[in-house]
């Protein structure tokens, strides 16, 4: 990774490489990601993708698990063996959990099963582009919201917050990704540590409770719903 690549990721926009053999899917993904301000290159085959990936200079590589001419995992392994740690997101029509484990072991950073919502893909790419606020931080602050990781207390302005353990974890996760769209699936994976799509509106209920606690003093909303996708914690100042 060169310096230019590192720097480009800070504003949430990046140079992306999409390795995907299905032209229709690629067209939609390219259109969507470019529409969001990313700069995206497309490779349609495994060998082509490997060449482009090894050339370097990418912020995130999105690659299909099964490619003509060369397996997506093989491309990833070639990249990792060369010492390149560029974040990679695997796309696959295979939902088998073993497949996912295999993908992550080969050096993948995230795994998305087809069919997926374009918003979900964009949110996950954004999460890979923007490294979350690192753990050594002792105080998380977004606008008037503060979490003291040492004392385990939270405050909204001058008002203390009374949070349950899971609400704390949820808020911690959101505050490390301010302004970023976080999908329901991402929340379930990261906060509850299960890959599972709940049938009922479970996540919304949990987020709703947290939201009520944050706005109990009549403050303006902090957690915003992103329609059809998930949530975003946006600073209020």
Partner 1 sequence: MTRLLSTTAFRWSFAIALWSALLSLILFAFIFWQTTTLELAENDDVIEKQLAYVAAEPDQAKSRIEGWLGGGIQSDRFAGYFAPDGAWLAGNITELPKALPRDGSVHVLDSAVAVAGGETRSDLRSAALRHADGHVIVVAISPEDIERAEAVILQTLGLALIPMTILSVIGGLLLAARARRKLVATEGAVAAVMQGDLRQRLPVGTGRDEFDRLTIDVNTMLDRIEVLVDEVRSVGDAIAHDLRTPLTRLRARLERSRDEARTVADMQQAIDRSLVWLDQCLALITAILRIGEIEHGRRRAAFGPVDLAHSIAEVAEVYDPLAEEKGVRIVRAIEPDLPPVTGDRELLFEAIANLVDNAVKFTPQGGRVRLSLRRQGQELVLGLEDSGPGIAPGERARVFQRFYRAEPARHSVGNGLGLSLVAAIVTLHDFRIAVSDAVPTGCRITLTCPTIIPARPELLDRARELPQARISTDVPS
**Using CA atoms, how far apart are residues 110 and 100, in angstroms rounded to an integer?**
9
Q: Whole-number minimum distance, CB 40 to partner 1, in Å?
A: 23
> 3-state class of 21 per DSSP?
coil
**Using CA atoms, how far apart are residues 170 and 188, in angstroms rounded to an integer?**
10
| Residue 173 binds to partner 1 (criterion: CB under 8 A) | no
Among 23, 54, 97, 226, binds partner 1 (CB under 8 A): 97
Q: Whole-number minimum distance, CB 163 to partner 1, in Å?
A: 9
Residues 6+ apart with CB under 8 A from 151: none
129: Cα within 13 Å, side-chain hemisphere = 28
Residues 209-228, mask of contacts with partner 1 (x by CB under 8 A): x-----------------xx
Which lies closer to partner 1 via its Cβ, residue 115 or residue 136? 115
- How many residues touch partner 1 (CB under 8 A)? 28
| Residue 198 binds to partner 1 (criterion: CB under 8 A) | yes
Among 7, 34, 68, 95, binds partner 1 (CB under 8 A): 95
232: Cα within 13 Å, side-chain hemisphere = 14
Q: Whole-number minimum distance, CB 165 to partner 1, in Å?
A: 4
Residue closest to 186 by CA, chosen among 234, 232, 123: 123
Residues in region 124-153 near partner 1 by CB under 8 A: 152
Q: Whole-number minimum distance, CB 225 to partner 1, in Å?
A: 14
Instruction: Give me 170's structure tokens.
Output: 């949820």
Q: Whole-number minimum distance, CB 235 to partner 1, in Å?
A: 25
Among 36, 143, 144, 192, binds partner 1 (CB under 8 A): 192
| Residue 200 binds to partner 1 (criterion: CB under 8 A) | yes
Residues in region 51-90 near partner 1 by CB under 8 A: none
Instruction: Count Cβ neighbours within 10 Å for each residue of 88-117 and write b for 16 or more, e otherwise.
Output: bbbbbebeeeebbebbeebbbbbbbbeeee
Name the burial class of residue 139, with classes exposed (0-12), middle (13-18) and buried (19+) by CB atoms within 10 angstroms of its CB: exposed
Among 138, 179, 196, 217, binds partner 1 (CB under 8 A): 196
Residue closest to 58 by CA, chosen among 96, 101, 6: 6
Q: Whole-number minimum distance, CB 187 to partner 1, in Å?
A: 11
Question: Given the rule CB under 8 A, which residues bind partner 1?
Answer: 95-98, 101, 115, 152, 165-166, 168-169, 192-202, 205-206, 208-209, 227-228
């Amino acid at each position: 990774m060169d310096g230019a690549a590192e720097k480009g990721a800070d504003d949430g926009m990046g140079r992306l490489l999409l390795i995907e053999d299905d032209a229709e899917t690629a067209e939609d993904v390219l259109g969507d990601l470019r529409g969001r301000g990313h700069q995206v290159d497309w490779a349609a085959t495994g060998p082509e993708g490997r060449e482009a990936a090894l050339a370097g200079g990418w912020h995130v590589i999105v690659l299909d698990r099964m490619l003509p001419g060369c397996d997506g995992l093989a491309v990833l392994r070639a990249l990792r063996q060369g010492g390149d740690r560029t974040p990679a997101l695997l796309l696959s029509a295979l939902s088998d959990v073993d497949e996912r484990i295999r993908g992550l072991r080969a050096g993948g950073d995230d795994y998305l099963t087809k069919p997926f919502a374009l918003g979900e893909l964009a949110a996950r790419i954004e999460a890979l582009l923007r490294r979350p606020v690192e753990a050594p931080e002792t105080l998380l602050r977004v606008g008037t919201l503060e979490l003291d990781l040492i004392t385990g207390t939270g405050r909204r302005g001058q008002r203390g917050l009374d949070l349950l353990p899971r609400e704390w974890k949820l808020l911690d996760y959101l505050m490390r990704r301010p302004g970023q769209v976080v999908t329901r699936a991402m929340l379930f994976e990261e906060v509850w540590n299960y890959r599972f799509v709940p049938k009922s509106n479970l996540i919304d209920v949990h987020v709703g409770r947290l939201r009520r606690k944050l706005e109990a003093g009549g403050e303006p909303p902090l957690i915003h719903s992103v329609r059809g996708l998930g949530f975003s914690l946006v600073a209020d100042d």
